[in-house]
Structure 1
Amino acid sequence: MSPEPSVDQLIEAAHARATSDDPLDLLDAVLALTRDVSARADAVVDQIVRQARSAGYSWTVIGERLGVSRQAARQRYADRLARTPPTVGLIRGRDLEAALASALAAAEADHLAEAGTEHLLLGLLTDGVAAATLEQLGVSRDKVRDAGHRLFDYPAHPDHEGRPVFSAEAQAALAGAEQLATERTLTCAPVAVTTPQLLAVIATNPGSRARRVLNDLGVDVADIKRLLHCYVNVPRTPFGRRSRRGRVGKKQPDHCSFCGHARSDERRLVAGPDVWICAECVTLCGEILARPVDSSRDHSPGITGSGSQAWNPRS
């Protein structure tokens, strides 16, 4: 097992992800780094809790090891385990496989040993929903490549030959995309990871190299969230869409009426007349409403009552 990274190594990694030497930019990078580590740690805990339950341990025993009550352990993990049963497989869509191959090819063309998230951004322009989203916002492969060479200190005379590997940041982004896809899949169907999840992860990470490229190109991340919302925030059911009504006489758990996520300790809901909304959707609404009004654009709502983002090809 590799040794745990030291504080100095973590700070060095944060400096590599920061957009500048400004302390606030460094703070953003540190927070992004800790979120990546926390997400992977949470995924590990979920897997081990599943193993403990499969071995026959009660929620009382598991709660004691976690330092929480039986009820708290059950509330925190039971729904997660039910949504991602052990029989569920995780597959990568063809669009994502093509994007990853293209990202490695781009790093190889630069004679680099590692492909970073800026190369993932290049790869995402190959095919699929992410490519259509980026192109709609005026992002092209040439622009991303030029920004990458301008922003990052690539070797002037690179001597690496052979196939590169993904950097630690790129691997964390892929893990985040897989986690996002897993959380949004509520059925026993295989979990499909595609380009929208990966774009959502690298674009919303303020310290990622891909985010620095997008900032350099003047791309508003709120636009990316808006265009991807219906692809990464609407959970699937066996019928391909979220049912609006439950069975008569059976109490349904509280869900956000916009994104469909259930109430949890991490996701609090605000109630209205027969409607609920979570903090994440409130934030998205604020970002959309904060945008200046453009008379040349379609003024249809940004979020529809059915829980999906209105797709406006002229946005």
Structure 2
Amino acid sequence: MSPEPTVDQLIQAAHTRATSDDPLDLLDAILALTRNLSGHADAAVDQAVRQARDAGYSWTVIGEHLGVSRQAARQRYADRVAQTPAALGLIRGRDLEAGLAAALAAAESDHLAEAGTEHILLGLLTDGVAAATLEQLGVSRDKIRDASHRLFDYATEPAHQGRPIFSAEARAALAGAEQLATERTPSCAPVAVTTPQLLAVIATNPGSRGRRVLNDLGVDVADIKRLLHCYINVPRTAFGRRSRRGRPGKKQADRCSFCGHGRSDERRLVSGPDVWICSECVTLCGEILAAASDTGA
């Protein structure tokens, strides 16, 4: 087990991470580092509690080992254990696992403490649908690396030794992919989180570092949407498609027949013969037809 970092080591790491010599920037960097350390500790305890629950131990026994009451242990950990991907029945595909491992390896080669969404973009080129999509759009590992080092301030000297962790933005992207997979998988099938969902989440987030790399490379996000559309766009119902028949006497909410989203102030719906299409799908259709016209397809 690695020894706990000393105060001097934390200060030195914070100086490397800080964006300037301003004491407040140093304070922000130290707070971020200590949050990461406490987050690892919390995650380790969560995992141990989850394993204990899976093994059949009661909250009373777990509480005794934590030094708290049964009620306190349940209140603190029950929801956190229940919200893990494994507890929710989520399965990470082999392509996604390989991509995430490659992303961490890329951040480690850059001597960074955290792997960002630009590293996930690199990892997604390892295998699967996302890799094929990016390759089709002319994206390569060398291009992503060049753009990342041009856009972001990477230290020229090794600033971190050891295995990096995913940044908050990267973890949010992965959570978004899990949510997207949950929403778009038929309820009769297991929810598998694979590379298309993660690429879609990163590409459609204008502020993500991965999206900034794609913009720098001149990749049109509409092309990514078009190529991934059939892999992620199945509404979650019993048979993978929205039923047009509801329960007798109960009005069904209007939903887009293509993406499954409901009507909202931002997403207007246009009706047809027993079908609906939302404003976003209309825009996407226009982009696809315009692209086909430009290529003479």
TM-score (norm: length of structure 1): 0.60
Q: C-alpha separation between the residues in 1 aligned to 2:151 and 2:264?
A: 40
Detail structure 1 runs of 4+ shifted over 6 Å in the superposition: 247-252
Q: CA deviation at 1:264?
A: 6.3
SS of equivalent to 2:284: helix
Work out whether 1:118 is the aligned partner of 2:133. Answer: no
CA contact (8 A) 1:222 1:287 kept: yes
Find the residue that maps to 2:218 and give its secondary structure.
Answer: coil
Corresponding residue for residue 231 of structure 1: 231
Q: Is the 8 A contact 1:113 1:165 kept in 2?
A: yes
- Bigger RCO of structures 1 and 2 (CA < 8 A, at least 6 apart): 1
Measured after TM superposition, the shift of residue 212 of structure 1 is 1.1
1:188 positional shift: 4.9
1:91 is paired with a residue whose SS is strand
Instruction: Tell me the secondary structure at the aligned position of residue 276 of structure 1.
Output: strand
Give secondary structure in 2 for the equivalent of 1:159.
coil
Q: Cα 1:166–1:295, aligned 2, differ >3 Å: closer, same or farther?
A: closer
| Structure 1 residue 155: Cα displacement | 0.1
Distance 1:159 1:194, change over 3 A: same
* Residue in 1 that maps onto 2:75: none
1:216 maps to amino acid = D
Matched-pair contact (CA < 8 Å) for 1:88–1:189:
no
Letter in 1 for 2:202: I
CA-CA distance at 1:210 after TM superposition: 0.7
In terms of mean alpha carbon deviation, does 86-95 or 121-130 score higher? Answer: 86-95
Larger Rg: 2
2:107 matched to which residue of 1?
107
Quote the offset at 1:261 in angstroms. 3.7
Q: CA deviation at 1:262?
A: 4.6
* Aligned counterpart, 1:171: 171
Partner of 1:203: 203
Report the CA distance between 1:170 and its aligned residue: 0.8
TM-score by length of 2: 0.64
Deviations 1:119-158 (A, max 9, x none): 0000000001100100010111111111111211100102
The aligned runs of 1:157-306 (5 Å cut-off) are: 157-239=157-239, 241-242=240-241, 246=245, 253=252, 254-263=254-263, 267-291=267-291, 293-296=293-296, 298=297
**Superposed displacement of residue 172, structure 1:** 1.1
SS in 2 for 1:277: strand
Structure 1 portions without partners, runs of 5+: 1-14, 16-85, 299-315
- Displacement of 1:192 after TM fit? 1.5
Q: 3-state DSSP class of the match of 1:192?
A: strand
For 1:92, the equivalent position in structure 2 comes to: 92
Provide the secondary structure at the position in 2 that maps to 1:182: helix
Shift in Å, 1:287: 2.5
Shift of 1:242: 2.1
Give yes or no for contact 2:186–2:234 (8 Å, CA) kept in 1: no
Per-residue displacement from partner, 1:244-286 (whole Å, max 9, x unpaired)? Answer: 6658989783432222345567754221222211222122123
Q: Unpaired runs of 5+ in structure 2?
A: 1-18, 20-85
Q: Deviations over 1:150-202 (max 9, x none)?
A: 21110010231100011111111111111211222341543221111110111
Aligned to 2:153: 153
Inter-CA distance 266–293: structure 2 relative to 1 (3 Å threshold)? closer
* Higher normalized helix content (fraction of residues): 2
